[in-house]
Structure 1
Amino acid sequence: MPNNDINVKVICSNSTDPWYNLALEEYLLRDINENEIILYLWQNDNTVVIGRNQNPWKECKCKKLENEGGKLARRLSGGGAVYHDLGNLNFTFVMDKNLYDLDRQLNVILQAVRSFGIDAEFSGRNDLTVHGKKFSGNAFYFLDKSSYHHGTILVDTDFNKLTDYLQVSKEKINSKGIDSVRSRVINLSELSDILTTEGMKRSLIDSFENIYGKSSTVINVDNDTYNIQELYDKYASWEWRYGEAPKFDITFDKRFSWGGFELGLILKNGHIKEAKIYSDAMNSHLIQKMSSCLLDIPFIMDKIINTIGSISTDEADKLIIDDVTHWLIEKSKSI
């Protein structure tokens, strides 16, 4: 049932520029009011969006994408790389952190999709599926007082370009028991003759207002609606999207049930002077914390293991820390 005490807003972006849309998403996250929730709907044209801690050159055929007029973007949240075009609709629930309720948020999406007679369900760590095939990937990001949950909805995406631009590791594909990216995804338009991205947008708004309460108005925004040039410049910058790809002295990598993990270290006088972790793990904050805690410590495996193992975190992330430390203990036996 809707909660009439919640301030409910719907914002739709008319821009198809990923750097603007991600900048606006962060602006809304940092500007959210107490007891407020926003459904933000947006689309990017011919874009690959990578997770906060991913290596762009490993996830995407960057040169091919840019030579063909596409854009690479990097989001705040963790998770894996995704392809966006105008056959895909993106949603973001931006909210006061006290309102975060994943089941309720997912119900908005599932209710909207089911209104077209499609039997959708939540599956795995972050996927929405139909008949075992994925049509939506979800990711999450938290600040002290606000949070967002965002994702994709494949309505009529060009899967040829999706498979052309994305480079998915064989280990990731094999871990899901499939033989290709194309075999595990589905466009919802394949399941309904009347479903369009515009129709899905209307259905999402109806579902959102049915669950959270009626919005006073749907706000349509253009590139100049908000003063977010500084955030736009960040998302458009080479440093944010690509960053440095240093030549590491030591590299360890492994795929776990929760995602891939690649640790690269640069050493000087036996101490770690730079540590970089590439990962599609969902918790981007934890990955950042793990890499930063290794700076300036001696390159001694017991010290690395104990430092990572001592990171203070919640129970949900303890699995990642335990997996990484146990794996490094085994690695240390062969060094």
Structure 2
Amino acid sequence: MISQIQTRIIKSLSHDPWVNLAIEEHLLERITEDEVLLYLWQNNNTVVIGRNQNAWKECRHLDLEREGGKLARRLSGGGAVFHDLGNLNFTFLMNKKHYDLSKQLTVILQAVKKFGIKAEFSGRNDLVIEEKKFSGNAYFFNKDSALHHGTILINSDLTKLSRYLQVSREKIISKGIDSVQSRVINLTEVCKSVTLAAVIKGMEESFMDVYGGDAQEIAVARNDFNIEPLVQKYSSWEWRFGNTPKFDISISRRFGWGEVELGFCLKNGHIDSVQVFSDAMEEGLIRDIGKGLEGCSFQKDRMIERLIKVDRRSENQVIIIKDVVLWLSETEL
């Protein structure tokens, strides 16, 4: 007998990124086997960076903080994004067996279609309207559960987005654009009648159409869950910035799947520690690359041997390891 999927829609009453990310992780840890959740949330004046990104390089965090904003780091991989109250964040949470990217994307595309807007999925993680991004998406998997989250630009302040996001020149050139702002678009630029409330309603209706169930709606606040340890984690210096020592050697390269930087601290000819910064979507694999190289002698053939042994679970992960191995083989160290 096939179990009936249970659906819920959770809305956060907070605009604090550290609280909202804590709620998200709390929900992920407690998702039941036959449940699919849609979590809707907003952050005010926030930059959220990917799990493996270098905070100092990805955004102008001092300007952001001086102007009352907050820097946050999420569980998933991918690149940095700007959030304000003209942007809506969504998270789909479910057991891995119910993870279906095309189904999840259908919820968003169908919601946008209600306004007469034609959008499509493009590249590795973007939803676009005429090649301009209005939604960035990222993904995270633990042992049993999965989440897919992202942004929907409705009427966001794109000048602040450009001001705070410090995108590498190489990344901009690779996309054939002049600036961050030139490659994103608000829904209100396409349809002036779009409002936040209308997009929320559209997402709720579309979610219920696609997944069915009773889709009970629940508004939540910080005090509704026992999440203070998680709030402390997301607000901590260690989680947001981490320990970035002065590297003895640092090399970087941009690939089709993302940018990667390897920072090596060496001791007696061996890799004492290594940090891997990347906006790649495969956040777990990126961390495995770092673990795989630790303790290795700083010789290309030995490092390549270690990388070849890193566990790969998908075709995309095979490509990433292959690219990094080829890059190291061609790099003078």
1:193 Cα offset (Å): 2.1
Write out per-residue CA displacement over residues 183-234 of structure 1, whole angstroms, 9 at most, x where no aligned residue. 1000001111221111101110000001101435210001111111111100
- What's the counterpart of residue 316 of structure 2? 316
- What's the counterpart of residue 173 of structure 1? 172
Is 1:10–1:215's contact at 8 Å kept on the other side of the alignment?
no
1:300 Cα offset (Å): 1.1
Aligned counterparts of 2:130 and 2:275: Cα–Cα separation in 1: 38
Query: CA distance change for structure 1 residues 216 and 83 in 2, over 3 Å: closer, same or farther?
Result: closer
Write out per-residue CA displacement over residues 259-314 of structure 1, whole angstroms, 9 at most, x where no aligned residue. 00000000111111110000000011000100011111111111111101211212
Aligned counterparts of 1:201 and 1:117: Cα–Cα separation in 2: 16
Is 2:6–2:213's contact at 8 Å kept on the other side of the alignment?
no
- What's the counterpart of residue 195 of structure 1? 194
The two structures, once aligned, show a CA RMSD in angstroms of 1.0
- What's the counterpart of residue 42 of structure 1? 41
Is 1:4–1:213's contact at 8 Å kept on the other side of the alignment?
no
- What's the counterpart of residue 28 of structure 1? 27
- What's the counterpart of residue 295 of structure 1? 294
> What are the residue-to-residue correspondences of 1:240-279 with 2, within 5 Å?
240-279=239-278
Aligned counterparts of 2:109 and 2:253: Cα–Cα separation in 1: 33
- What's the counterpart of residue 142 of structure 2? 143
Write out per-residue CA displacement over residues 109-167 of structure 1, whole angstroms, 9 at most, x where no aligned residue. 00000100000111111000001100000000001110000000000000111011010
Aligned counterparts of 2:147 and 2:215: Cα–Cα separation in 1: 21
Equivalent position amino acid for 1:248 in 2:
F
Equivalent position amino acid for 1:27 in 2:
H
Report the more deviating stretch, 193-202 or 125-134: 193-202
Please give the secondary structure, in 2, of the residue aligned with 1:95.
Answer: strand
Is 1:260–1:279's contact at 8 Å kept on the other side of the alignment?
yes
Please give the secondary structure, in 2, of the residue aligned with 1:231.
Answer: helix
Aligned counterparts of 2:190 and 2:98: Cα–Cα separation in 1: 33
Matched, 1:327 2:327: yes
Equivalent position amino acid for 1:257 in 2:
G
Query: CA distance change for structure 1 residues 214 and 48 in 2, over 3 Å: closer, same or farther?
Result: same
Equivalent position amino acid for 2:117 in 1:
I
Query: CA distance change for structure 1 residues 191 and 300 in 2, over 3 Å: closer, same or farther?
Result: same
Is 2:111–2:206's contact at 8 Å kept on the other side of the alignment?
yes
Count of residue pairs brought into register by the alignment: 331
TM-score, normalised with respect to structure 2: 0.98
1:16 Cα offset (Å): 0.2
What runs of 5+ residues in structure 1 fail to find an aligned partner?
none
> What are the residue-to-residue correspondences of 1:1-335 with 2, within 5 Å?
5-314=4-313, 315-331=315-331, 334-335=332-333
Please give the secondary structure, in 2, of the residue aligned with 1:224.
Answer: helix
Equivalent position amino acid for 2:267 in 1:
K
Aligned counterparts of 2:98 and 2:163: Cα–Cα separation in 1: 39
1:35 Cα offset (Å): 1.1
Equivalent position amino acid for 1:326 in 2:
L
Identity between Structure 1 and Structure 2 (%): 55
Aligned counterparts of 1:132 and 1:270: Cα–Cα separation in 2: 48
Is 2:77–2:280's contact at 8 Å kept on the other side of the alignment?
yes
Aligned counterparts of 1:215 and 1:255: Cα–Cα separation in 2: 45
Aligned counterparts of 1:139 and 1:108: Cα–Cα separation in 2: 15
Please give the secondary structure, in 1, of the residue aligned with 2:89.
Answer: strand
Please give the secondary structure, in 1, of the residue aligned with 2:105.
Answer: helix
Segments ≥4 residues shifted beyond 3 Å: none
Report the more deviating stretch, 211-220 or 273-282: 211-220
Write out per-residue CA displacement over residues 33-62 of structure 1, whole angstroms, 9 at most, x where no aligned residue. 011100000000000000000001101001
Please give the secondary structure, in 2, of the residue aligned with 1:293.
Answer: helix
TM-score, normalised with respect to structure 1: 0.97
Aligned counterparts of 1:316 and 1:266: Cα–Cα separation in 2: 28
